[in-house]
Structure 1
């Protein structure tokens, strides 16, 4: 599961009219369909609208409303400030046009979608346990949709207001089957609905893919994946993609997993099934809670420290992907900055 706020896009009217959104200072425009929001509609149109979390927390998708009116789906979104309100700045991931409008925004090619996101329906085909609190959910989509290893989707779950962001753990294949490894979050309405209300045969809405932390096939460096919690999913997807990608056949792949206790450790069995296990694919886990004597023989400590100890100066020569709880992600970022790893070699999606 992507660790995001349990809020977001509200209930939608599927038959609401479409509206035209014009970009100030030029000829660009796109259509925002009924029930959609500005950010996602722009990406469906092939426009590189900046974003990160996609659910109202980071503020990276702000735009200025020049003409017209928009409705904010989540007025209390952490990424939307009083100063933004005064300056007619809004969050594109939470904004739905009330009519035709004109906005001011600077597109950035770094945010261009590899595959234009699609809104469709899917049925849960199967589920299985991964750990005591993580399960894998396999959905079959009504319409095939490609995605890159490491990307995520937004799921609209029964009885839950607003979408929830979860990363795919498989590779796209023919685009019909998307798998998600989700952790049950205490008090989390999204994960509670997924675990307790979505049984095989249940239909949900899926919108995706999204995210910039996808596998770079042209990178001439060995790969390091760092995961914690259900950040397992996108990192497993990265390794699954890299293990069979001809362009990466000579790259070594290292996977580090951080867990609280030995019972939380996951991922090794999934990687062992891949070609190259033990030769070019290597796995190691660390637990942060000192275990009882004889319970654990691996490293004890935080996974960002393990990465620094194992690879040291070599980190600057690696292509690095990471995903996990916010505190873990922040610690990994700080460690990589301290070791002067070039920013272009570091890939993660920012969630709160």
Structure 2
């Protein structure tokens, strides 16, 4: 099957392979395609098909409403061309993807358990591949119908990227009856090979911002928040700035990340760890905070939450609660950094 030409309303265009999606092909071409989750859940990548034919990889995607369907709107992250196309889509040059995402072959080198249901999977790539702290990638897992989005927990080692031996690490939470995580947790062994597509995501570390940072993590949202913390430590910015790291869960068994943070220079001084659980058990020996992560994070930030840069990731209800609380507290939108996952 050949590549197809995708023409935008303004006359610009790009090439899309017969197995690629409109969103990802446009990003690879250097265009600022609108997107967030890359999985059919957020709807950011909606577009209108003006001419041509596409295959819809996710016909029942929750991001499309009945009104969207009546108007012929589709999702760029789930649309694979079957002919040349003309499309109407909002492309903004100021948000072009950096680094440009690519499809890369990777080999699983090892795993380790982080909590009772989160495991780290470490992949070595066969080509140099930089990414920014806080970004995510799509894993094409053998036997699973669609790629799944997972965030990196490490940072790109500049020396390793230069010689092509870089690794991408993912801390992934097992979803009960989830096809992708069942395949990873039950069948993935060192030596397994798959394709990783990335990097993606706009919730990456802004190293040039001088404000203190608050990271708020829940579940496997721990992964990108650790990457943010590691990126801060590696940049040397923690000599002048402080990072507060809030990890929320229902019970103590859901809390992880302290061991990895303790390995960073500045832990206990400019890096502090604040675990919080929302469902303490009777007679529990838990000595940390009790409450929801967004409430604990605001309390740790003090009286001026708008003086901080905020990064957060986790289950959708937690992410929405953090965003709402921060907006109500007067934190400007441009200081909130998160990607929506569904």
TM-score range, shorter chain: over 0.9
Computed over aligned residues only, the root mean square deviation of the Cα atoms, in angstroms, reads 1.3
Partner residue, 1:232: 222
Whether the aligned pair in 1 keeps the contact of 2:142 and 2:194 (CA below 8 Å) is yes
Displacement of 1:112 after TM fit? 1.7
State which of 196, 221, 226 in structure 1 corresponds to 2:211. 221
State which of 286, 296, 306 in structure 1 corresponds to 2:296. 306
Whether the aligned pair in 1 keeps the contact of 2:107 and 2:193 (CA below 8 Å) is yes
How far apart in 2 are the matches of 1:270 and 1:314? 28
Structure 1 residues 351 and 110, CA, compared in 2 at 3 Å: closer, same or farther? farther
Structure 1 residues 109 and 276, CA, compared in 2 at 3 Å: closer, same or farther? farther
Matched residue SS, 2:90: coil
**Mapped pair 1:70 → 2:54:** yes
**Mapped pair 1:316 → 2:306:** yes
Partner residue, 1:55: 39
How far apart in 2 are the matches of 1:223 and 1:95? 37
Partner residue, 2:9: 24
**Mapped pair 1:332 → 2:310:** no
Whether the aligned pair in 2 keeps the contact of 1:313 and 1:339 (CA below 8 Å) is no
TM-score normalised per structure 1:
0.93
**Mapped pair 1:146 → 2:130:** yes
The more displaced of 295-304 and 42-51 is: 295-304
How far apart in 1 are the matches of 2:282 and 2:69? 53
Matched residue SS, 1:305: helix
Q: How many corresponding residue pairs?
A: 336
How far apart in 2 are the matches of 1:159 and 1:230? 22
Displacement of 1:232 after TM fit? 0.3
How far apart in 1 are the matches of 2:333 and 2:174? 32
How far apart in 1 are the matches of 2:83 and 2:284? 65
Q: Which structure 1 residue ranges, 4+ long, deviate > 3 Å from structure 2? A: 246-249
Partner residue, 1:87: 71
Displacement of 1:65 after TM fit? 1.4
Matched residue SS, 1:54: coil
Partner residue, 1:126: 110
The more displaced of 235-244 and 57-66 is: 57-66
How far apart in 2 are the matches of 1:110 and 1:247? 26
Point out where structure 2 has 5 or more consecutive residues left out of the alignment. none
1:138-181 deviations in Å (ceiling 9; x for gaps): 00112221100000000011211001110000001134200000
Point out where structure 1 has 5 or more consecutive residues left out of the alignment. 1-15
How far apart in 2 are the matches of 1:110 and 1:328? 29
Matched residue SS, 1:313: coil
How far apart in 1 are the matches of 2:124 and 2:255? 28
Partner residue, 1:268: 258
How far apart in 2 are the matches of 1:234 and 1:210? 12
How far apart in 2 are the matches of 1:264 and 1:104? 44
How far apart in 2 are the matches of 1:76 and 1:298? 42
How far apart in 2 are the matches of 1:111 and 1:197? 38
Whether the aligned pair in 2 keeps the contact of 1:168 and 1:234 (CA below 8 Å) is yes
Matched residue SS, 1:242: helix
How far apart in 2 are the matches of 1:156 and 1:312? 42
Displacement of 1:248 after TM fit? 5.3
1:124-147 deviations in Å (ceiling 9; x for gaps): 000011111111110011222110
Structure 1 residues 299 and 248, CA, compared in 2 at 3 Å: closer, same or farther? closer
